[in-house]
Amino acid sequence: MDRSLEKAIMPGEPLMLPASFALASASSSRYSSSSSSSSGSCGHEDNWKQALIRFNMFCGEPEPGDLIEIFHVGYKDWAIYMGDGYVIHLAPPSEFPRFGSSKMFTFLSCKAVVAKDPLGDVGWGCFYRVNNHLDHQYRPQPVDKIISSAKKMIGDKKMYKVLCENSEKFVTDLRYGWPRCKLSCQNPQPGDLIAISRVAYKHWAIYMGDGNVVHLNKSGIQVVVKEDPLKKVVKEDKYWVNNYLDYKYRPRPVDEIISLAKKTIGKKVKYNLLCCNCEHFVTELRYGRCHSKQV
């Protein structure tokens, strides 16, 4: 599937997003397997793992600041990706085994230490995935701030409690900060999706910066892509930032979103409620795939 809108726009012709975009269902939960593997792995299991890795290769590699969910036998562990194949995570104290399935039981001591290790060692042959599962609710901190904060904590000793002070809370605090602020309550940033509550439906726009948005606008019998002030589009209605698919799909880079949106301005659109509505339009710009919860 071509992620660019450019081929969907023909000079002098209406813009029509391919209906097949709305059928895309591949998750952005990027599964993989750590490079290390236990000596007891059977050939059949290795073949199955390799098949799953190949199947999910399109999902791409972790990026700095990503949350990594690791599926150990009987429990899940979490880490934050630092780049160059390394993660920062909560490790057992030095008197306990550092990696492997026994790691879960060492946390019964209620102690942990912040450590930086290769993802392959931390994963210990288990599947892992990028899972920024709160991106649709909270604005992630800048990547350099996430990395800097994580590095400063290396070597720190932490209390570990399975139900509250666990590895998931540790990495989510690094990514989203504490206290967290609801994304919907924040000022829009370029590339954000804006949901606008009308009487019987939601109108959608994409924020361009400087108070402007790009959206589908009905002009007579035609629907045209326009750039307008957000206040003009919203009128007296309620609106909020709603990047509701960020937990599932990695957004395009902001400059790419803005560039694509600018190229659509002034184009006529073959509007279709089921496959090419205003929500399809903005989600394709942000994620490279169309989606609408309204149909």
Residue 13 pLDDT more than 70? no
Angstrom CA distances, 222 to 183, 192, 230, stand at 33, 26, 21
Share of the chain above pLDDT 70, in %: 73
Half-sphere exposure of 262 (CA within 13 A, CB side): 9
For residue 230, the SS3 value is helix
Highest mean pLDDT of the ranges 55-59, 69-73, 124-128, 260-264: 260-264
Residue 49 pLDDT more than 70? no
Residue ranges and CATH numbers for the domains of the chain are 6-26+184-287 (3.90.1720.10), 34-176 (3.90.1720.10)
Instruction: Give residue-wise pLDDT tens across range 226-273.
Output: 999 999 999 999 999 999 999 899 999 999 999 999 999 999 998 888
What is the value of pTM for the model shown?
0.70
Instruction: Give residue-wise pLDDT tens across range 169-224.
Output: 999 999 999 888 888 777 899 999 999 999 888 999 999 999 999 999 987 778 99
CA distance 162 to 149: 23
CA distance 54 to 49: 9
The pLDDT assigned to 280 comes to 96
> Which segments of 68-214 does DSSP mark as H helices, in order?
103-106, 119-123, 143-152, 167-176
Mean of the pLDDT values across residues 134-145? Answer: 94
Task: Say which range, 92-106, 124-138, 153-167, has the weakest mean pLDDT.
Answer: 92-106
Using a 10 angstrom Cβ sphere, with 0-12 exposed, 13-18 middle and 19 or more buried, the burial of residue 17 is buried
**Residue 85: band (very low, low, confident or very high) from pLDDT cuts 50, 70, 90:** very high
Residues 6+ apart with CB under 8 A from 155: 113, 114, 115
Count helices and strands (H / E) in the chain: 8, 13
